């Protein structure tokens, strides 16, 4: 499906925000993905046209960053962290449970088209390991059973609240937010006491950072 004229106009709007228009390529690719559920040749060509660069230059960026997918993602992107901290605390077991529950595999859309599963090397949320993300929103301190429960709720169309963020919408909606982050969702809680524990202890003990 060709990129719509409305999306092209939004691409031009994004490009106008930057002193150097080509700096807008990353959010523009997210915008293209929000419309087509993947990065297509049409999306690449639209970005190239708006920025007056070659499709090859756009493709080089789209294939470098793993958040841009070259196949249909489906309704929800599911990322399970399996890096050291998450792995030690059960990330691999969470991954195995998610795979079994969806009949899916890594970097692929499940047979029912509902989920795209991805083993993530780091979610930058070790405080709440093991961590799973749904459409890049955090589900903290997950277990195999709680992870599968989230998937079951999503399948049934029930509301799922991320641990530190907004209510889960879907992959395409999140991709649009990555292109236009000023959508009013930034006020959702993103920091909790567990994340601030180190800072609190440092203040209680009068610790101060030294110069390197």
pLDDT at 2: 82
- 191 in any annotated domain: no
Let me know if residue 30 belongs to a domain. Answer: yes
Which phi and psi angles does 130 have, rounded to 5°? -80, 145
> Considering the domain boundaries, does residue 205 fall inside one?
no
104 and 152 co-located in one domain: yes
CATH number of the structural domain spanning residue 27: 1.10.10.1590
Q: Is residue 179 domain-shared with residue 143, that is, in the same domain?
A: no
Helical pair 41-51 and 55-62, crossing angle rounded to 10 deg: 120
Q: Are residues 87 and 159 in the same domain?
A: yes
* Predicted pLDDT at 198: 74
- Is there a domain that residue 194 lies in? no
pLDDT at residue 196, rounded to an integer:
72
Residue at 35 is within a domain = yes
Q: Are residues 37 and 80 in the same domain?
A: no
159 and 103 within one domain: yes
Domain identity same for 68 and 148: no
Residues 84 and 15 in one domain: no
pLDDT higher than threshold 60 for residue 200: yes
Do 67 and 26 lie in a common domain? yes
Domain contains 108:
yes
Structure tokens at 52: 């007056």
Confidence band (pLDDT; 50, 70, 90) for 164? Answer: confident
Which pLDDT value is given to residue 138? 94
Residues 17 and 62 in one domain: yes
Give the mean pLDDT of 19-35.
Answer: 97
Using pLDDT thresholds of 50, 70 and 90, give the confidence band for residue 203: confident
pLDDT band at 187 (very low <50, low <70, confident <90, very high): confident
- Judge if 87 and 68 occupy the same domain: no
Beta strands in 1-159 (DSSP E): 76-81, 108-109, 115-120, 132-134, 137-139
151 three-state secondary structure: helix
For 76-95, what is each residue's pLDDT tens digit? 999 999 999 899 999 999 99
33-44 confidence digits (pLDDT tens): 999 999 999 999
Q: Is residue 39 part of a domain?
A: yes
The CB density around residue 126, as the number of other CB atoms within 10 Å, is: 15
pTM of the model: 0.88
Q: Total domain count for the chain?
A: 2
**Which segment of 2-11, 117-126, 146-155, 199-208 scores lowest on mean pLDDT?**
199-208
Q: What is the pLDDT of residue 1?
A: 66
- 202 occurs within a structural domain: no
Percent share of the chain, pLDDT over 70: 96
The domain of 28 spans 1-72+172-186
Say yes or no: 68 and 88 in one domain: no
CA distance 91 to 81: 6
* Average pLDDT along the chain: 92
């Amino acid at each position: 499906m060709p990129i719509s004229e409305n999306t092209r106009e939004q691409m031009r709007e994004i490009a106008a925000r930057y002193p150097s228009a080509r700096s807008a390529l990353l959010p523009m690719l997210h915008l293209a993905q929000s419309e087509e559920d993947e990065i297509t040749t049409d999306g690449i060509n639209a970005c190239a046209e708006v920025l007056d660069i070659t499709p090859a230059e756009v493709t080089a960026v789209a294939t470098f960053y793993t958040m841009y997918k070259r196949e249909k993602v489906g309704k929800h992107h599911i990322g399970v962290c399996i890096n050291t901290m998450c792995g030690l605390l059960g990330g691999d077991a969470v991954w195995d449970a998610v795979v079994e529950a969806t009949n899916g595999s890594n970097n692929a859309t499940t047979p029912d088209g509902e989920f795209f599963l991805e083993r993530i090397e780091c979610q930058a949320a070790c405080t709440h390991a093991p961590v799973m993300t749904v459409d890049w929103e955090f589900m903290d301190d997950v277990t195999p059973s709680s992870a599968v429960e989230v998937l079951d709720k999503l399948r049934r169309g029930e509301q799922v609240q991320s641990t530190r963020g907004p209510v889960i919408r879907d992959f395409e909606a999140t991709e649009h937010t990555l292109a236009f982050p000023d959508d009013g969702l930034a006020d959702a809680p993103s920091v909790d006491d567990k994340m601030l524990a180190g800072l609190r202890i440092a203040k209680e003990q009068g610790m101060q950072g030294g110069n390197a």
